[in-house]
Amino acid sequence: MNSSGSPRAVRFAAALMALVTVVAGLLTFGTRNEASAASTVGGAITRAEIIARAKYWYDRGDTWYSQDQADAISDGTGGKYRPDCSGLVAMAWHLPKKSDGWDLNTGDFESYSHKSWLPSLHDLLPGDALLKNGHIELFEKWVDPKDHSAGAWVYSENTYGQKTNHNTNSWSEMTTYRGIRYDKVIEKSLDGGDFDGNGAGDIHATGTGTLTIWNGKGNNNFGTADPVGGGWDGFTRPAAGDFNKDGKTDLAAVKNGTLYVWNGKGGNKFGAADAVGSGWEPFSAPVAGDFNNDGVSDLSAVKDGTLYIWNGKGGNHFTPADSVGGGWEPFTAPVAGDFDNDGKTDLAAVRDGNTLYIWNGKGSNKFGAADAIGSGWGNYHATLMSLGDVDKDGHSDIGAVNKNTGTLYLWNGKGGNKFGPADALGGGWLPHF
């Protein structure tokens, strides 16, 4: 640590453990029959859903290129889009039709009022698009997030006789395009804090009694500590989400049984505390995520071994508790993220202080069976946290502090409940957690 007590933003590699995938069915969740909610036509949409929609067309295997609107193909959610390059992006972004019933073409994207031009190709994030005269492609991810010159993975519809493509573009090819961004994309994960709105997950902590934020810069790098404000003694670890649905990250925490929300103003600034409700004494610290997949942050917490969810309605309002399932006694309080990268919020927790499990979300507060990811979490389980997307590759990442050394480690998500090796960010973190 430096003299100010701020963890250094210096990174060094540390292979802590190999994460292996072992499927195990644990816990019984409630069975609910509601259809999974997603984005609406012309509405806000997450980056993960954009990529999932493009992948749906690729996986179909029958999306043959055509510039005829009469050949429109299902998007899997009730809509149909023309299977050419602009139709693919319109489908992935879930855009409405034009007044004549046709999907946008490349010329329309040039002047489209709900897009913005990116200053640089280096600013591309998953779900953005590459546009040039006569052609458009959907950006999925960088081949190497640390070296953009290696090119990028894209989804595209190119020419007659071909189906939806999923391949790489070289950097040289990419320089013939300009990057564009849909202005209704949700710029941050609902399952991790992005307080400055730059698309990279931030770290926040209150263990010293002061809310401190380390803003993510991408590639697992963070800025210096920003001590935002004191008076946090007695509160649970705050959960980060967008509870008033204004596009900025808020915080929620419990003190003396009352749930409070601080609405974010951007730039690590927050409004006054809003006392949302009482009766939280017997619950674990709340965790934020979008468990019903409606684009609004929800809260979850455990009481007497049962997981409950309160679905967010915006404006810091929540539905009554939904009892989702029992069997949580041997687990730590869960954290939320999209660990399989399907656009739905998952849960992760450590059992008996050793093994990390993930329950993949299905929407409507439903989850799949437990997936045992790896053991050896004894020194980390108490501080397990979901940080959103700290390396800006489109996948949810997790972190934890070693209780013996005080070193903070990150595990970058790879999708499919898989993670890369541990990356050590430096020591001196124990007082903050």
CA dist 122 and 101 (Å) reads 35
User: What confidence score (pLDDT) does residue 187 get?
Assistant: 55
The predicted pLDDT at position 344 comes to 87
Of the candidates 85, 186, 172, the one whose C-alpha atom is nearest the C-alpha of residue 121 is 172
Q: Is residue 352 part of a domain?
A: yes
**Looking at residue 91, what is its pLDDT?**
98
Q: What is the DSSP secondary structure assignment for residue 331, as one 8-state letter?
A: B
Contact (CB, 8 A) for 383 and 400: yes
Q: Is residue 225 part of a domain?
A: yes
* Cβ neighbours of 144 (radius 10 Å): 12
Question: What 3-state class would DSSP assign to 400?
Answer: strand
Residue 14: inside a domain, yes or no?
A: no
CATH of the domain at 59: 3.90.1720.10
Q: CA 313: distance to chain centroid? A: 19
Please answer whether residues 377 and 368 qualify as being in contact, where contact means their C-beta atoms are separated by less than 8 angstroms: no
On whether the pTM is more than 0.75, the answer is: no
Let me know whether 242 and 125 are in one domain. Answer: no
Q: How many angstroms separate the CA atoms of 411 and 400, rounded?
A: 9
The DSSP code for 149 is G
Same domain assignment for residues 133 and 238? no
Residue 193 maps to a domain: no
Q: How many residues does the chain have?
A: 433
- Residue 398, classified by CB atoms within 10 Å of its CB into exposed (0-12), middle (13-18) or buried (19+), is buried
Start-to-end C-alpha separation, the chain: 15
Write down the residue that tokens 């013996």 correspond to: 404
Give pLDDT, residue 394.
78
Q: What does the angle CA 115 – CA 119 – CA 124 come to, to the nearest 5 degrees?
A: 70
Which tokens go with 278?
């009482």
Write the pLDDT tens digit of every residue in 233-266: 999 999 999 998 887 899 999 999 999 999 999 8
Please state, in angstroms and rounded to a whole number, the distance separating the CA atoms of residues 236 and 259. 10
Instruction: To the nearest 10°, report the CA torsion of 215, 271, 289, 378.
Output: 60
Tokens of 409: 């480690």
Distance between CA 363 and CA 38 in Å, rounded? 9
Task: Identify whether residues 156 and 266 lie together within a single domain.
Answer: no
Q: Is 350 exposed, middle or buried (0-12, 13-18, 19+ CB in 10 A)?
A: buried
Same domain, 366 and 256: yes
Q: Is the separation of the CB atoms in 320 and 279 below 8 Å? A: no
**Which CATH number covers residue 285?**
2.115.10.10
Q: Identify which of 229, 311, 308 has the alpha carbon closest to the alpha carbon of residue 273.
A: 229
* Judgement on whether residues 333 and 239 belong to the same structural domain of the protein: yes
Considering just the CA atoms, what is the radius of gyration of the chain in Å?
Answer: 22
DSSP 3-state helix, strand, coil percentages of the chain (rounded to 5)? 10, 35, 50
Are 246 and 353 part of one and the same domain?
yes
Would 9 be classed as within a structural domain? no
Nearest-angstrom CA–CA distance, 432 and 57: 45
Domain that holds residue 214: 203-432
Residue 94 lies in a domain: yes
Q: Please report where in the chains the tokens 């071994």 appear, as a residue.
A: 305
Instruction: Answer yes or no: are the C-beta atoms of 140 and 394 closer than 8 Å.
Output: yes
Domain count for the chain:
2
Q: Do 116 and 171 share a structural domain? A: yes
- Angle between helical axes of 47-60 and 85-93 (0-180°, round to 10): 130
- Condensed to tens digits (0 to 9), the pLDDT of residues 408-425 reads 999 999 989 999 999 999
Structure tokens at 50: 């954009």
Which stretches of the chain score pLDDT less than 50? Answer: 1-37, 189-190
Q: Which two tokens stand for residue 62?
A: 């029958």
Determine, yes or no, domain membership for 59.
yes
Residues 51 and 178 occupy one common structural domain: yes
